[in-house]
Structure 1
């Protein structure tokens, strides 16, 4: 007998960058999409405002397993995408316990809720390249040992391995996407890429004079978030669960990002960027650059937006935002 349930997916962290792109993608695929949102007077729905009449929003919290069980029982999703976390690396140094509760133990609570309510639910865990930290090899693959360099990275390692544990212990279809940095115009202003593009637009429009940053030599593997959510979905369509690195396979420095962003509007970054020790991390990761061969070979996934196009897209969007032409990107 075939499963007659509608294609329904539950997304935790739906109000974030990845959640909004994934919700769009799944709605276009014909899914019913349920967004899990914490009860709070400060929740922002800006990124999904254009989708709200097509979504179901339910209250739930990764700190409260009972609320997760209730959400699963009420909506009976076939797929669950766990994108919720305290996801800002710098904040994790100041709030390490909260980061552990949400980004690490929160994964356990959600997996356990699935085990209790319906073990046939397919589960996606948002793992992170920050787990590699002090890298053991370049490029990094699914088999590269982890050595996280922040409380956020440590918490993500826990979330990753508890996903593997539940997969092996309870035969859950649970997969992890080890996503390298992925950006977009919807990225929060606290992230360096969006901080740069927003500042470039502000300087271009005469509203800001300088941009203060930390380590300009830090290098990352940056891609477009809209491309990466497709990989999340593809993982849950496979017969067998597994873990996949999702990345561009290229590495670029913060300095290079600045150079391209300012040059896009005809400016020289050296005239405006100031290095400020206040923005240096207590412990920096090494050269993060991934190898997505498994995702490309098994999932058939390919990125579509290159680094230069991503930078230009973000700068243009911030110029439009500051000129009042766009809404809901910050």
Structure 2
């Protein structure tokens, strides 16, 4: 039985990755800041909390990180911790940068000093590329981050690359573009759209207020993306990979797909407000995940249109369960 330690186990990706690893008969050690009931909802929704060994700790404390790795001697470590909202990073730039960059450095130093035969996955982001003016990003594209979140993720990426080259550590970064699911927090725009649209369909509200709906993104299905994370650590040689669908749609397209699933005309309910605009935003993001397909055998099955439909169906199912239907 392999052992995996997941830092940030309570988030969307941490929950789906835990489920995947449990299915593969791993022993899963989950690290999160708070192990109270309110913070473990994602694990409960997947009905896996009882199968994970939970540790209340923070990736920001080097001694804690080292102690956990030294005690459990995992085969694999997944770094999914840190603030994950681009919009929130503009409000909390210092905390965002420290949480992501220092947390990653703590893990790398732990692996280096303990000299264990462990494989490390680092959660990177398509936001590292930032504003590349609509060109299609590949692993060779120069970073140009346009948010505090993107800057922090770019820093972590280069930390991983530097330690891999200098010390021969098996460490890799997945440059994951937008990936969504019913486990996303409500402050993420995709989940805000889905939850509000469902409330409108049930007559509980009458308006959805958003910022710029003209932006274009590559939205994928999160449960697929954690498979790519796992596949990266099954390779003989560590490397970095873009993980995306290769299909870009506009936020307006996503909105339309959500409302169509509910048999509603989105134009009757959606309004825009400048208060929801970010200080800096990227018009179009495109990605080429060919390297992941060629070397990992990974390819996304679902595009943004599928994601919109599946998120609505999941929300309706969750609401039905809560009502006892």
Aligned to 2:300: 303
Asked whether the 8 Å contact 2:90–2:147 carries over to 1, the reply is yes
Answer yes or no: is 1:32 the counterpart of 2:33: no
Q: Quick one: which of 6, 10, 34 aligns to 1:11?
A: 6
Once residues 232 and 191 of structure 2 are traced to their aligned partners in structure 1, the CA distance between those partners, rounded to angstroms, is 28
Aligned to 1:135: 132
SS in 2 for 1:178: strand
SS in 2 for 1:175: strand
Answer yes or no: is 1:321 the counterpart of 2:296: no
Asked whether the 8 Å contact 1:108–1:159 carries over to 2, the reply is yes
Aligned to 2:191: 194
Once residues 206 and 82 of structure 2 are traced to their aligned partners in structure 1, the CA distance between those partners, rounded to angstroms, is 33
Answer yes or no: is 1:273 the counterpart of 2:251: no
Aligned to 1:177: 174
Asked whether the 8 Å contact 1:128–1:178 carries over to 2, the reply is yes
SS in 2 for 1:212: strand
Asked whether the 8 Å contact 1:214–1:280 carries over to 2, the reply is yes
Once residues 180 and 187 of structure 1 are traced to their aligned partners in structure 2, the CA distance between those partners, rounded to angstroms, is 15
Aligned to 1:21: 16
Residues 1:97 and 1:43: Cα distance change in structure 2 (over 3 Å): farther
User: Offset at 1:40?
Assistant: 6.9
Q: Give the TM-score normalised by structure 1.
A: 0.94
SS in 2 for 1:27: helix
Asked whether the 8 Å contact 2:32–2:58 carries over to 1, the reply is yes
User: Offset at 1:39?
Assistant: 4.2
Aligned to 1:3: none
Aligned to 2:114: 117
Residues 1:180 and 1:272: Cα distance change in structure 2 (over 3 Å): same
User: Offset at 1:119?
Assistant: 3.8
SS in 2 for 1:199: helix
SS in 2 for 1:124: strand
| Matching of residues 233-248 of structure 1 within 5 Å | 233-248=230-245
User: Offset at 1:117?
Assistant: 2.1
Q: Quick one: which of 83, 87, 107 aligns to 1:86?
A: 83
Once residues 39 and 259 of structure 1 are traced to their aligned partners in structure 2, the CA distance between those partners, rounded to angstroms, is 37
Asked whether the 8 Å contact 2:214–2:283 carries over to 1, the reply is no
Asked whether the 8 Å contact 1:78–1:121 carries over to 2, the reply is yes
How many residues were matched structurally? Answer: 322
Q: Give the TM-score normalised by structure 2.
A: 0.96
Deviates more, 1:267-276 or 1:297-306: 297-306
